[in-house]
Copies of this chain bind each other. A is one copy, B any other.
Amino acid sequence: MSKTYRLVISCPDRVGIVAAVSQYLNERNGSIVEANHHTGPEQKWFFMRHVIDAESMTVDLETFRAEFAKIAAEFDMDWFINSSEDKPKVMLMATKESHCLNDLLHRWHTGELQCDIVGVIANHEDLRSMVEWYKIPYHCINVPKEDKLPAFQAIETAIDESGADTIVLARYMQIFPEYLCEKYRFRVINIHHSFLPSFIGAKPYHQAAVRGVKLIGATCHYVTADLDAGPIIEQDVIRVRHSHSATDMVRLGKDIEKLVLSRGLSYHIEDRVLVHGNKTVVFAQ
């Protein structure tokens, strides 16, 4: 894959945005590889993502940013441009369940996930050997029931020292404290093992078994201070029958969790997700 730039913009909707952006890209000879637009009619808000062939551009990123700032100011844009060569740094967090972790590590190892995995933080030792096979640092930080704050401070330090810009709760069975949700706003991704907003909180498969639903699901969302209520990135479901116990649902649900989390994370690290209010615009391929 050749080098590309990703230009992501959101701003109040009005006539002329696309013209201004595309005219600037044209002046700098930018060849557009992928383009997505969305206008939210209710919010009167405009969202845009371009992938540009870096080779085609007659300016470098620094110049681009300086020049584009004028257009951005004119249209009140929330915006950034990234190079595909500056890969996002991702910290994974887990407890004992290995399915999501194994899935993400394997996708990363085979080049499917366009990111660097800078470490795994877990509150148990169980997954160390698996992680270390991938030559990834493993931080075991126990989170004692009676006093969790020091543990989360250690976690914060580990995250910050790693330079991670994205944190993935890959079935991490601890509630992320509010101050970290704020600090890493829209950078912490969780996989919840239900089709939200059904079955918020603990043991969603058992809740599903009790309610007798005919499909179970998983939800990938940004973590906010409200439990399981942050902006949803991706969801999917799988069919279950009366013959499936809660234990069966736990097993079947793993496949959906893996798919939903890996898709959600891919969207995030490829800058395909734009948050607006408590909802996401997802420019999937």
Residue ranges of A at the interface with B (Cβ–Cβ < 8 Å): 15-16, 18-20, 22-23, 25-26, 29-42, 56, 98-99, 102, 106, 110, 112, 129-130, 133, 195-199, 211-215, 217, 231-237, 241-245, 248, 251, 255, 259, 278-282, 284-285
Majority secondary structure, A binding face: mixed
Question: In the bound complex, do residue B242 and residue A280 qualify as a contact, i.e. CB atoms below 8 Å apart?
Answer: yes
Known: A26-B16, A212-B231. A282 touches B242 (CB 8 A): yes
Residue ID in chain B nearest A276 by CB atoms: B242
Q: For A199, what are the chain B residues with a Cβ–Cβ distance below 8 Å?
A: 197
Question: In the bound complex, do residue B195 and residue A285 qualify as a contact, i.e. CB atoms below 8 Å apart?
Answer: no
Question: In the bound complex, do residue A281 and residue B242 qualify as a contact, i.e. CB atoms below 8 Å apart?
Answer: yes
Known contacts A196-B211, A197-B213, A242-B282; can you find 4 more A-B pairs with CB under 8 A? A15-B31, A19-B22, A211-B232, A212-B278
In the bound assembly, the distance between CA atoms of A23 and B22 in angstroms comes to: 8
- A56's partner among B15, B30, B241 (CB-CB below 8 A) is B15
Question: In the bound complex, do residue A35 and residue B34 qualify as a contact, i.e. CB atoms below 8 Å apart?
Answer: no
Q: Please indicate which of the listed interface residues A22, A29, A237 has the most CB atoms of chain B within 10 Å of its own CB.
A: A22
18 A/B residue pairs, CB under 8 Å, sorted by A: A15-B56, A16-B26, A18-B18, A18-B25, A19-B19, A32-B37, A36-B37, A42-B245, A129-B133, A195-B237, A196-B211, A211-B279, A214-B232, A214-B235, A215-B236, A237-B237, A242-B279, A242-B282
